């Protein structure tokens, strides 16, 4: 928003994060964001506070808090969204638009509209709109400044006009815009993520079949992806999806559908989730098979993890397939060594029992099995001949189906790939 020329106040309740942001430091890994942040902290167009009243007079308020999965159900935890509205509303004394960005179960915005009307001194002058975002981690800056589309959920002319002004740069550049009601706007986000998850699980289901018959899922994806109606994107088979969005969104969607009495409509998402889970278990199974004939050692078989983040260009380990597998193998008595260019810190916080290193050679040294689970480009550049000299046994599972099978095998590696012969 500061980059687009607006005067921005970021409100954050964690004092550690406020302090970092004020110094222009991003408290997580995201390409291109540090430069943007420090530029606008310096220009004075972007400042941070933990005091909500400093932001109360704004013309537009974006609510961008998380909606994680509840610990004891499939549903989304709306505590943070509710708290944001409850604490902001009493401070709203002049006309404003409160814009929800968080991914929420359909019907939340309607409930919050009523709450806002009840609590805001500005009354009907404080409008609520829903404006989901679709940014991908690793491409957050690009996706925000040049989105594929904009969705505005509001039936109020003033709210629509305000948001059109906010997004004038993108709209002038021809970004498609869909203006719709609150419920549809909420549903757009979850259905988009449900579709993407389904696409990934579809190709992973094909991978399971390919494994049975010795077929190649990457060729299959290329071939069906050439059909413009299908498209090649999000057809990369492998260890499946993770992260803070896709897994919890498909679960929250099922939960909400069930509350609404239309659980049949999202029943297929149970399979989408189950296929995704089976891919993780498949990697565990392949690892067990590979070490099956080895002599038993006191420390257990040493497994080198190439990657901990749920995807490259991110340090996010939420619902990471790599970390799930690391945890399972550690529990089963394996000696787990994890390498990741950015995510060893967050991974260590979740699984402190594993060994972590930022030195790739160190990770590979003495390994009985190597698991390639996050497709950071650095792993594709590994020289298999040199790597074979570091490990105890040259065995690798390619959980992202991107390694050059011929190159690795001709260097003496026993390479197993998900969905490829
Ligand atoms: C996703 C949506 O893409 C984004 O629009 C939404 O706003 C938030 O959720 P993100 O979680 O950042 O974004 O990552 P994404 O690129 O969608 O990848 C999700 C997971 O799917 C990753 O674990 C990735 O490795 C996996 N994936 C992706 C595949 O396994 N195969 C693919 O073909 C694509």
User: Domain for residue 286, yes or no?
Assistant: yes
User: Domain for residue 1, yes or no?
Assistant: no
Q: Among 274, 295, 320, which residue terminates a domain? A: 274
- Binding site for NAD(+), by residue number, is 17, 67, 103, 137, 248, 318
Instruction: Print burial letters for 26-51: b (CB count within 10 Å at least 16), e (below 16).
Output: eebbbeeeeebbeebbeeebbbbeee
Same domain for 20 and 138, yes or no, is: yes
Same domain for 135 and 197, yes or no, is: no
In angstroms, how far is CA 250 from the centroid of its own chain?
13
Same domain for 315 and 262, yes or no, is: no
User: Domain for residue 96, yes or no?
Assistant: yes
Whether 234 is in the pocket of ligand 1, judged by its Cβ within 6 Å, is yes
Same domain for 225 and 291, yes or no, is: no
pLDDT of residue 212: 97
The CATH number of the domain holding residue 204 is: 1.10.1040.10
Whether 134 is in the pocket of ligand 1, judged by its Cβ within 6 Å, is yes
Q: Whose CA is nearest to atom 33 of ligand 1?
A: 234
User: Domain for residue 410, yes or no?
Assistant: yes
Q: Whose CA is nearest to atom 19 of ligand 1?
A: 241
Same domain for 236 and 285, yes or no, is: no
Total structural domains within the chain = 3
Whether 376 is in the pocket of ligand 1, judged by its Cβ within 6 Å, is no
pLDDT of residue 382: 98
pLDDT of residue 134: 95
> Which three-class secondary structure state does DSSP give residue 286?
helix
Same domain for 19 and 79, yes or no, is: yes
Which parts of the chain register pLDDT below 50? Answer: none
pLDDT of residue 117: 95
pLDDT of residue 224: 98
Q: Which of 391, 352, 390 is nearest to 368 (CA)?
A: 391
Q: How far apart are CA 356 and CA 352, in angstroms?
A: 9
Same domain for 208 and 232, yes or no, is: yes
- Index of the ligand 1 atom closest to the CA of residue 242: 23
Whether 241 is in the pocket of ligand 1, judged by its Cβ within 6 Å, is yes
Whether 246 is in the pocket of ligand 1, judged by its Cβ within 6 Å, is yes
Q: Among 154, 182, 210, which residue terminates a domain? A: 182
Say how many residues make up the chain. 421
Same domain for 80 and 106, yes or no, is: yes
The CATH number of the domain holding residue 97 is: 3.40.50.720
Same domain for 114 and 199, yes or no, is: no
CA 204 / ligand 1 centre spacing (Å): 14
Same domain for 17 and 161, yes or no, is: yes
- The ipTM value here is 0.98
User: Domain for residue 3, yes or no?
Assistant: no
Strand order in the sheet with 395-398: 355-357, 335-339, 302-306, 369-372, 395-398, 414-417
Range of the domain at 371: 279-417
pLDDT of residue 194: 98
Task: Specify whether 64 is catalytic.
Answer: no
Same domain for 209 and 315, yes or no, is: no
User: Domain for residue 349, yes or no?
Assistant: yes
Same domain for 98 and 46, yes or no, is: yes
pLDDT of residue 390: 98
Q: Among 274, 303, 332, which residue terminates a domain? A: 274
Q: Whose CA is nearest to atom 5 of ligand 1?
A: 134
């Amino acid at each position: 928003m500061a980059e687009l020329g607006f005067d921005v106040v970021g409100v954050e309740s964690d004092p550690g994060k406020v302090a970092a942001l004020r110094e222009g430091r991003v408290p997580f890994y995201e390409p291109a964001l540090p430069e943007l942040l420090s530029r606008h902290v310096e220009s004075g167009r972007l400042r941070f506070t933990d005091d909500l009243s400093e932001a109360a007079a704004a013309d537009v308020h974006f609510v961008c808090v998380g909606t994680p999965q509840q610990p004891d159900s499939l549903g989304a935890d709306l505590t943070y969204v509710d708290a944001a509205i409850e604490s902001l509303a009493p401070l709203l004394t002049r006309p404003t638009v409160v814009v929800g960005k968080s991914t929420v179960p359909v019907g939340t915005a309607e409930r919050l509209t009523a709450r806002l009307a009840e609590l805001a001194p500005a009354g009907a002058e404080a409008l609520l709109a829903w404006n989901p975002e679709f940014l991908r981690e690793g491409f957050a800056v690009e996706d925000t400044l040049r989105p594929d589309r904009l969705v505005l959920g509001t039936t109020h002319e003033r709210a629509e006009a305000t948001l059109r002004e906010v997004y004038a740069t993108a709209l002038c550049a021809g970004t498609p815009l869909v203006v719709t009601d609150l419920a549809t706007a909420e549903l757009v986000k979850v259905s988009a993520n449900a579709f993407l998850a389904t696409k990934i699980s579809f190709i992973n289901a094909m991978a399971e079949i390919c494994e049975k018959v010795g077929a190649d899922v990457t060729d299959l994806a290329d071939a069906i992806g050439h059909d413009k109606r299908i498209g090649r994107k999000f057809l990369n088979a492998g260890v499946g999806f993770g992260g803070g969005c896709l897994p919890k969104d498909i679960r929250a969607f099922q939960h909400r559908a069930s509350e609404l009495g239309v659980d049949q409509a999202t029943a297929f998402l149970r399979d989408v989730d189950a296929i995704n889970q089976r891919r993780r278990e498949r990697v565990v199974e392949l690892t067990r098979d590979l070490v099956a004939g080895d002599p038993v050692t006191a420390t257990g078989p040493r497994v080198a993890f190439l990657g901990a983040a749920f995807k490259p260009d991110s340090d996010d380990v939420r619902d990471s397939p790599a970390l799930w597998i690391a945890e399972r193998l550690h529990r089963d008595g394996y000696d787990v060594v994890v390498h990741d260019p950015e995510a060893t810190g967050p991974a260590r916080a979740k699984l402190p029992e594993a060994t972590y290193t930022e030195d790739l050679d160190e990770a590979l040294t003495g390994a009985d099995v190597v698991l390639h689970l996050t497709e950071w480009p650095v792993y594709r550049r590994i020289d298999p001949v040199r790597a074979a000299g570091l490990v105890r046994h040259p065995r690798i599972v390619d959980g992202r189906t991107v390694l050059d099978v011929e190159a690795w095998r001709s260097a003496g590696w026993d390479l197993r790939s998900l969905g490829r012969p």
